[in-house]
Structure 1
């Protein structure tokens, strides 16, 4: 089979991992870079030598006008730009891997889902924890009934986000659509929803901006159908690099997950309490890398494990959290 021709849209720091992965996979070819900043492009070419000679364009329309032969986009732009870029790609029958969040507005995410279904193209959200061995183990245990009746879930994520993003677009609401919750917190909001696997009914939340134009710290209580109670705790002014903890409790067991605070991009450790014993699973099956999963989905060899529906659910939850916080923590319904 021929290699999938991909354009990298947005060439800031977050796009580096995307491009390095694509460059190291034989089934992909990066055919265009898109970014309005010459400085970003120069720095990007230094970080990813494989794209040194790949042509660059100011925006996606310029790339389309140039007649570049492209089959898919990987979108790594500021959050509020995702919707028009992804929708434009779908209208050209292109596949898309979009950084989180898919969109900031639930209605925009629904529009993308509908358009992709009509066009018959793949849109995948880069919720890479869905391809993490430890998280997949937890989901399989929960889905198989290994915890018995699910009762509660607590998800905490923290990052030195306030300091590290100061002066960047991530603290500009017009571009970011929100703060830590909309950024790194989006990954763990997805895990909360993905692990429980039930619709959210109500949300009660408090948000602290910590002097920033956007949210920094968030504490949310999430009630799911069937009575499962969830807690989502997002800390954007953490004093160390990273914090990521999950505890899922059922009538027959408990799952706990913890990431290394100094190495957040490695898979964490999962511990399973069952039948009065503590089990720490090792040598878990290695799932496909997310770009490989994208290609398998495009080729019809696998289902889309991070579809637009995931982006819709996170957008709905995020909107409810902000709405509740705006009402002093009042309990609100997801809509």
Structure 2
């Protein structure tokens, strides 16, 4: 059986979730860890004592040079992703990177070009691509069952402002942005991935409260096919996480609310919940399957580029108080 030797760049809580999944995949061997924090390493050892004997590096570049690797998984503060991913690709390694892929359109374009040049597998950990309800909606739209998508409305709220107070996620130098760039990255990505729509222009209003990053964001978007939509990301929301998305087409509409999907067709009075949804997987399994030639990459670098383009245009609109054309390269 072919073995895929994986190193981890970043060993925080998110990375430990990836480690848990990787340890269940028979073809994977975790061979090295890199993180600037000894505390993070201690938590890895606590959760996965079988990894105690692995070499540990405070400089990921040393790991890339000294350890025989096939692939890396990157789970670090957002603004570090670009250089870590580029260095890994240039070392001839397959790469899985946490969201957001990077924090600027320029960096995203460079990643896309480097992936094409290297021929390596590159995957963004956008887990919604592997969840049955979102795969179902994407399949329905691609099959023409919704008709032409005409309007979208998406809402995400989370107690992010208080929960991330004092962490790197609210430090612009490390996060690259606020809630729109964090959990909001998932929302923007899944809307674009499901619908296939190309954003053309965005008008955005953003409130940073007393931080240096976006907390609450309101986006109005016009798409190239003529569709319009509203996207709301609320980072200062007491209570539980909530996600609500509606997509209206010329033939049918879908409504997603916290894991439940309803579908209504034109001329039919009662909505229904679809059955026979696609299979569920996860980014780590897809990453290994793609390396072994058993599957296509389900969340490729182009998704990160599209999210970066829309996010950067929204930030610019909020800064200038004007509508901004979404730059496509």
Query: TM-score with structure 1 length normalisation?
Result: 0.94
Corresponding position: 1:269 with 2:260: yes
Aligned mates of 1:87, 1:6 — CA distance in 2: 17
Aligned partner of 2:254 in structure 1 is 255
Task: Please point out which of 327, 331, 334 is paired with 2:323.
Answer: 331
Aligned mates of 1:289, 1:192 — CA distance in 2: 18
Please give the secondary structure, in 1, of the residue aligned with 2:248.
Answer: strand
Q: After TM superposition, list the pairs within 5 Å mapping 1:139-218 onto structure 2.
A: 139-218=138-217
Q: After TM superposition, list the pairs within 5 Å mapping 1:230-309 onto structure 2.
A: 230-259=229-258, 268-274=259-265, 275-276=267-268, 277-309=270-302
CA contact (8 A) 1:23 1:50 kept: no
CA contact (8 A) 1:78 1:169 kept: yes
Aligned partner of 2:123 in structure 1 is 124
Aligned mates of 1:33, 1:22 — CA distance in 2: 13
Once the two structures are superposed, what CA deviation does each residue of 1:94-113 show, in whole Å capped at 9, x if it has no partner? 00000001100111111111
CA contact (8 A) 2:135 2:278 kept: no
Aligned mates of 2:170, 2:87 — CA distance in 1: 26
| Residues 1:49 and 1:155: Cα distance change in structure 2 (over 3 Å) | farther
Aligned mates of 1:50, 1:99 — CA distance in 2: 24
Aligned mates of 1:320, 1:82 — CA distance in 2: 20
For residue 283 of structure 1, report the CA deviation from its aligned partner: 4.6
Corresponding position: 1:10 with 2:2: no
Aligned mates of 1:159, 1:48 — CA distance in 2: 30
CA contact (8 A) 1:216 1:236 kept: yes
For residue 69 of structure 1, report the CA deviation from its aligned partner: 1.2
Aligned mates of 2:119, 2:301 — CA distance in 1: 13
Aligned mates of 2:16, 2:62 — CA distance in 1: 22
Q: Which deviates the most, 181-190 or 20-29?
A: 20-29
In structure 1, list runs of 5 or more residues that go unmatched. Answer: 260-267
CA contact (8 A) 2:202 2:314 kept: yes
Q: After TM superposition, list the pairs within 5 Å mapping 1:16-55 onto structure 2.
A: 16-55=16-55
Aligned mates of 1:88, 1:253 — CA distance in 2: 45
For residue 137 of structure 1, report the CA deviation from its aligned partner: 0.7
Q: Which deviates the most, 175-184 or 270-279?
A: 270-279
In structure 2, list runs of 5 or more residues that go unmatched. Answer: none
Once the two structures are superposed, what CA deviation does each residue of 1:75-106 show, in whole Å capped at 9, x if it has no partner? 00000000100000111110000000110011
Cα RMSD, aligned residues only: 1.3
Please give the secondary structure, in 2, of the residue aligned with 1:178.
Answer: coil
CA contact (8 A) 1:192 1:232 kept: no
Aligned mates of 2:234, 2:61 — CA distance in 1: 38
Aligned partner of 1:263 in structure 2 is none
Corresponding pairs, count: 325
Please give the secondary structure, in 1, of the residue aligned with 2:271.
Answer: strand
